[in-house]
Each structure stands twice: as C-alpha cells, then as structure tokens.
C-alpha cells in the first residue's frame, strides 16, 4: 500500500477502559509523533483520577484536556468527566456542556465526528471495550472522510458490546485487532508511516 501520514489518534472506550488504555499506552514511547485524544465514559465526579493513573503507567505525557489547548505529539489528552470534547479545525480542543449524545457526556461520537472534520484522512480512530454503542456513528464519519479505523477484537474486550456495535455499523473497518496488538500497530502507522 502507499505510504500515509497520520497526524492524530482518537480513542473511544467505556467499561473496562482503564486496563485497555494501560495496555496500549505502556508500549508507546515518549517521542511518539502524534497526539492521542481519549474519551472514556466516566462518572461526573471522577475528577482527574484517570489521567493521573495513566500518566504513572506510561512514558507518554497524559493529562486532562483543557479548553483551547493545542494538540501536540507525545501527549495523551483525556476528556474531563461530564463534558464533550471536540477537536476544532485549527487543531485545538474545545469543551462543551451541551446535552448528552447517544446517552453519553462525554460522547465518543462527538469527538470522532469533530476530529474527522479537522484531520480527514490523517486521522486514526480506535474503538475499544465498552457497554454502549457510542462511537459507531462517529466511526462512520471518520471512514467517510478517509480516516483509518481500528476496532478491538470483541473476543479480547472486557465488554464486547461497543466493538461489536462499531463493527455492525462499519463492517469494512481497516483492522480488527486483539488488544495486545493495538499499540504496536499504532506505532507502525505513525512512526514508520506505512501501512503493511
């Protein structure tokens, strides 16, 4: 296949997400060139706990996303609880307290759809374990705009509902991978810049 350049990764995850995210981030070095933006469904009062835990388990810099923040490589941006996280066309982040989308705030769909507009075919979208269908509509948008799609193999998910819903909505995803292979695939796509 022809070489492609990927400028951003978005990840959507829900039930079982902490273990899944640790599995991915612990295998990625601090000099990773692309920013990673994560929506994890959390309780409204969860604070910065997820960011703190992940930051202690990863060489990447993991932080809670802030309004108007400029996306930088090697940084993981975690959506704060009870806000939607959007990627603006100027590659900055925006927070919104608009009503729930697909029964969720934050909504994976909102992140994926806005990132797809901002990055087009330079975006990688990843759907991991979860107990809702949030993310499926956004993944369709990512693919329609030429982005690259990875869905966790439901057999390796703590909760298989979210990846199964994504596969039902997008049967032609680029890759279905077991959890333990996702970090190495992201490295091969972003660091080496080629699809194998």
Q: Which residues are marked as active site?
A: 14, 41, 134
User: Phi and psi for 63 in degrees, rounded to 5?
Assistant: -145, 160
Within 10 A of 2 (CB to CB), how many other CB atoms are there?
5
CA 162-164-165 angle, 5° bins: 65
**Phi then psi for 39, rounded to 5 degrees?**
-110, 120
How many Cβ atoms sit within 10 Å of the Cβ of residue 153?
17
Question: Which DSSP category does 176 fall into?
Answer: E
Query: Measured between alpha carbons, how far is 96 from 94 in angstroms, rounded to an integer?
Result: 7
- CA separation, residue 148 to residues 11, 101, 154 (Å): 12, 23, 18
Joined tokens for residue 11: 């990840």
Q: How far apart are CA 136 and CA 15, in angstroms?
A: 16
* Coil, helix or strand at residue 47: coil
Assess contact for 20 and 156: CB atoms under 8 A.
no
């Amino acid at each position: 296949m022809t070489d492609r350049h990927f400028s951003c990764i978005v990840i959507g995850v829900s039930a079982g997400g902490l273990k899944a995210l640790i599995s991915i981030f612990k295998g990625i070095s601090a000099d990773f060139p692309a920013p990673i933006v994560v929506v994890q469904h959390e309780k409204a009062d969860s604070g910065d706990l997820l960011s703190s835990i992940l930051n202690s388990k990863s060489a990447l810099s993991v932080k809670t996303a802030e309004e108007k923040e400029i996306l930088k490589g090697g940084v993981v941006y975690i959506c704060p609880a009870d806000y939607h996280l959007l990627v603006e066309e100027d590659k900055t982040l925006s927070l919104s307290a608009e009503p729930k989308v697909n029964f969720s705030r934050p909504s994976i769909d909102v992140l994926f759809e806005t990132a797809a507009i901002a990055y087009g075919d330079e975006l990688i979208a990843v759907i991991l374990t979860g107990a809702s269908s949030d993310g499926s509509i956004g993944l369709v948008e990512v693919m329609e705009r030429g982005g690259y799609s990875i869905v966790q193999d439901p057999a390796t998910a703590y909760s298989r509902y979210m990846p199964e819903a994504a596969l039902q909505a997008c049967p032609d995803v680029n890759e279905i991978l077991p959890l333990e292979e996702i970090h190495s695939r992201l490295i091969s796509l972003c660091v080496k810049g080629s699809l194998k």
